[in-house]
Amino acid sequence: MLLTFWDIKERPEVKKSIAKELGEIEKRIKLGNLKVAKVIFVGGKKIRELNKTYRKLDKETDVLSFTDDLDEIYINYDWIKSGERNIKELFIHGYLHLLGYNHETDHGEMEQLEIKLGKITL
């Protein structure tokens, strides 16, 4: 089950549309038994702060995932609004991290799975 939260301003109809799209994506790519997952949309400044705090990288990034009692995916909404990335690819990327995939240490498995899942139509 996904819960969506917004740390930035957006019109209510856009928020509702994005929440619906995320739900459809989750249904189609269900790969593991995640607990309740929170998807939090943040701006570039906030995700940079999170990246610096938790990964010691002082730079903006597209998505961050954290596993704890409640799994969380932080999505940089600025990148979506600018057209740099889309919700589907960022959500899939974050979701795979929650399932334990790590593109920094694997041998391309996560990237291949992202490509495969990215081809799923809604």
Average pLDDT over residues 28-40: 75
- 59-83: pLDDT as tens digits: 999 999 998 778 999 999 999 999 9
pLDDT at 121: 67
CA distance 95 to 30: 10
Token duo for residue 46? 């906030």
> What is the pTM (predicted TM-score) of this model?
0.89
Q: Which residues pair with 3 in a beta bridge?
A: 38
Beta strands in the chain (DSSP E): 2-6, 37-42, 63-66, 71-76
Assign 6 a pLDDT band (cuts: 50, 70, 90): very high
Alpha carbons within 13 A on the beta-carbon side of 15: 14
Assign 34 a pLDDT band (cuts: 50, 70, 90): low
The residue ranges of every structural domain in the chain are: 2-118
Q: Is the pLDDT of residue 119 over 70?
A: yes
Alpha-carbon dihedral 91, 93, 98, 101, rounded to 10 degrees: 160
Angle 102-121-76 from CA coordinates, rounded to 5°: 45
CA distance 97 to 93: 7
Fold of 2-118: Collagenase (Catalytic Domain) (3.40.390)
Q: Is the pLDDT of residue 90 over 80?
A: yes
